Structure 1
Amino acid sequence: MQDVPYPFFLGPGSLPALVAGHDWQHSELGPCADWSPTLKTAVSICMAAHSPMALYWGPAYVLIYNEAWRPIAGHRHPDVIGKPAAQAWSEVWSDLKDLFDGVLLEGKSHLFEDAPFTLFRHGFAEDCFFSFNLSPARNEAGQIEGIINTVRETTFQVQQQLRGQILSALSEGLTGYETGKMTEVSLEVLAGFSQTIPWACLYGEADGTYVCSQSGAAGLTEIPTAWVSLAQSQNKPEPLAIRLFWPGAPVEQVALVPIWTAKTLTHILLVGINPRTYYDASYQRFFCQIGQVLSNALTTAETLQMAQSRVKDLEELNRAKTEFFSNISHEIRTPMTAILGLSDLILDQTIEDPNRDLLLKINQSAKNLIRILNDVLDYAKLGSGRIQIQNEPFSLDTLLQQSADLFSADMNQKGMDFFIEVDPQLPLHVIGDSHRVSQVLNNLIGNAIKFTEKGHILVSLKKLDREGDDVWIQFTVQDTGIGIRAEHLKHLFKPFKQADGSITRRFGGTGLGLAICKQLVTLLGGTLTIESAFGVGTEMVFKLPFRLQHSDDVLSQQFSGLKALVVDDQSISLAIIGNYLKRWGIEHRLCASGIEALECVQQAEQDQQPFDLFLLDWKIPSINGLELAKRIQALSATRPHPFFLMVTAFGRERVMAEAALMQLQVDGVVTKPIIPSALVSCIQKKFQNPGTPNPTSRGASSIQELLAPLSGKKILLVEDNPINILVAKGYLLRGGVEIFVARDGIEAVEMVAQQPFDAVLMDLHMPRLGGLDATRKIRRSQPGPLPIIAMTASVMETDRQACLAAGMDGFICKPIEIEELAATLCRVLR
């Protein structure tokens, strides 16, 4: 128990005794015995508290504090016990008085966080920070007798926070700069924190000395030799008197901070020491941390410069490589235009000739060469980051039909079956990059065809997750081909790799296709996976995100009340068609042979529940679809029989010709693999719009059919290559197009000025005046909406962008694909 005259002085430490022994008789508060109950209670609470607490009592705010508050007083203790606050805190009283008076005036507590004060408590002016509360102490009558002050010094925390901000700002501010710029930037960052770092200068090594050319170091442009030695040997920065070497220095003391890069002292930082901050171990650590940040930044900058140099070299290499590929592509595509174009024109003539098979092989080989060339170009563009995603509205049905048209002939030639299965919930129209999606899908289908000798290929589309207008769609390509051994699967997505070296010799290819697909799918934001069993087959799956064009956009046609008979010897085809018919509300029977079909028809006739439509495969064994239709017709000659024939590519004209010879009415021809929208269109037009001519789904159409919508149009062909002129004219004339030819850009400009044209097909590289300049001249002189389409062997993205920038409306790659030519012209002329 402490020896104190009054119990309200009891508390931990020695300070309560000092307070009790103070000469209160001659103080503003008077003898302790005369103190008010409120003061005695406040003193009792203050002395007993284990956290810093002080009382400011009476009109003069007389100071009383406890043991925990003693460090705040510093060297003033114990002299300030019982002193008015104006004397105890003379250097900051002007600020404190306003705070104290505010408490008395408002009569409520005030809280302050990290409030800054400059105090003389350790023999020098010191920057301090405090979080404290000022609360009024009231007597029983409600009168305020004094102020109770609870306080916590936060100087260390605030300093650490400020130093952390400096280190973060320095680290972030130096990111991305070269070493030459770093000196300037680092000092700019430090100058923004002058309260903590009043002055700084960075000296760089030059021929063994450390110099600084900044104006802020005019009196000390070179580090003294002794200090250089110290920087090389010291473990922690000690205070140095800079005015010994520079009398006019802005600070009295500096810290010497060495900056090491790859074990070499490349820089020395002189940092001014804040005279109002105690130079302790944490201050030293802070300067060391600044040195480490600068060292890391300089090291990173040097590494970055080396990397940038390598990147620049690689970019130059990529540019040269891309230019090389572009030139090679142009040189190859020009003769390929002749090979493909002329063979297409001959094959389009429905001639039976011993050489037709040879022409088909030439045509197919040329297309294979173009695919290889496209693979190499795409790989080069992906490697240089030049492929950009173009998100536009497109139809999934159209994309599937194009793939079916592209590969049906190859499948038919190999004697394989090609199936397409579409999820009933699949949206019809989405927003995405149709070109890249089609490229991936076609590459995977082409791969499947290449490595499948017999059996079938199944392409299926399935809707996965949907959230709002965002939907994920899964594309699956499944084959019954040679399969892939498990140990080879991990190498499939590497460029120039195939599962087995013998594969390349047997099946051909560059080994780039799957690598390109993987990169494109990743670029589109999706995933690509492969599962395979050697000798059984392979399943390739890629999943992609799309945006919906419409919230409710699925094929939901209903034909309730109809009854159909489907005949096909392929069980997969029967199952797919059966699912479609079930979805559309059509009652149906599935038959795998003509004999089974005739039995079903006879039974239906006997039950007086005849079929309303017949969907027959043209080439079922033992009896073909036309003969089967003839026999079905004979079973009930008085009733009409809507027949729809399913044929493979290039079979439409032949089946219609044979039907005419047999005097058999065929209401529609659907090309395999069947796209749901094509089948539903046939049924719809027959049963819901009987006056409409019955359609045939789009298969491998002739040139004349593709270009029929352009009949009578006047088109200017601007081309200098005689063979290219021959091919383009051959295509367009068969569509009934009126063709005019200009041999270069100058002729084109003159001809456009002399007469009107519906469209212009423009080559890019021509003598006298190229296609880009010719387009610009036409646009300046002919402001009207004249469609100009580039038709060129220059197929890089930069070429496409240059054409659009010049004012062109479309872009067709050579060698010319008749489908692309027809689609582009129809688009710009509609």
Structure 2
Amino acid sequence: MQDTGIGIDPRAVRTLFEPFRQADIATTRRYGGTGLGLTIVRQLVELMHGSVRCESALGAGSRFIVTLPLRPWVPSVGAAPGRSAPHRLAIDAAARQPAPAGTSPDATGRGQRVLLAEDHPINREVITRQLLKLGYVCDCAEDGQQAWEMLEAAQASGAGYAMLLTDCHMPRLDGYELTARLRQGEAARGLPRLPIVALTANALQGEAERCLALGMDAYLSKPLQLADLREALSRVLRQGAAQQEAGATTAPRYSRLMQLCDGDEAKVAKLVRVFVQATEKDLQAMDRAAAAADPAVLRQLAHRLSSACHQLDEDETVRAFQAVENGHSDQLALALYPPARRALQSVMQRATAFVARCVRGAGRGERSPSGPAQEIRLCSRAKA
């Protein structure tokens, strides 16, 4: 909702949704009111797992934005036996269209719910119709900040999305920042990994590497071709399902090291401890190189860390550091380091937990890593 009225002082906007608070007491004297209306609106919106906010400026009017995790309705073929057909509003005729001829079942959306973050209205309309044609149910966000709020609301309601498609260049919060925020939140809260597909009109060299290093799963250039979109989404969803299945247990597998050590977990833990201790020093050196804007040293250490992470089967982090090493420009290599560092921190957390579990097992009389138990601290220096 938007108006062109007198507007609200920005200092008053912060308390606007609190009970018995109004922006201007003089308005209450003139028109009446208790200061409860917006509080009730906020409570109703939050009951539906949504959010409400206000944007205003004095003399320029006000805009109130409500974000709700509503799911588009796709019309059913008919009413249930013995009941009359309900009166509902159809979203789009494209939702009723069958999958294109020759499309295999595993390549269609099958009604899976995806979120599209795209700031341009014509792109939203075209991509939404493409997704509906492929069998997906699509919700839309006009920018990255709105997408973040919709994802948070969906997570809170237990009705999450199967995938996020995001433009890379948007106002308020772009696709890069949105992805970084999502990956950080997943790691901090132990949430399943949401598949993310980047959409951009920028086909410059290095763009795909930047997207993958940030934690995106695929990269598509606009304008999107239906066949390319179908193949990419199908592949990403298959990969996501495989990753969830492989990560059903919280403990890392370290299959490469397990094979080397003939399945002896104690020996594997000793090797993982060496990785953690060496990586702490490498991280400090990389932080110094990034702070000094020294891409040559950064690339050298990125090569070293990608090789080390490869030994632990941490493929996503390997790709992130390979992108730093192989960035086509020094500026890109420096820009790709922070997301690679975040990915490495997650690797370190898993490795530290693995060694700690083995040490605890040794304390209970189980077989332990050779040598005395050592405390392993995660490098906590500020991110570059």
TM-score, normalized by the shorter chain, greater than 0.5? no
Structure showing the higher helix proportion among its residues: 2
What range is the shorter-chain TM-score in?
A: 0.3 to 0.5
TM-score (ref. length: structure 2): 0.33
Structure showing the higher strand proportion among its residues: 1
Structure with bigger RCO (C-alpha 8 Å, 6+ apart): 2
Structure whose alpha-carbon radius of gyration is higher:
1
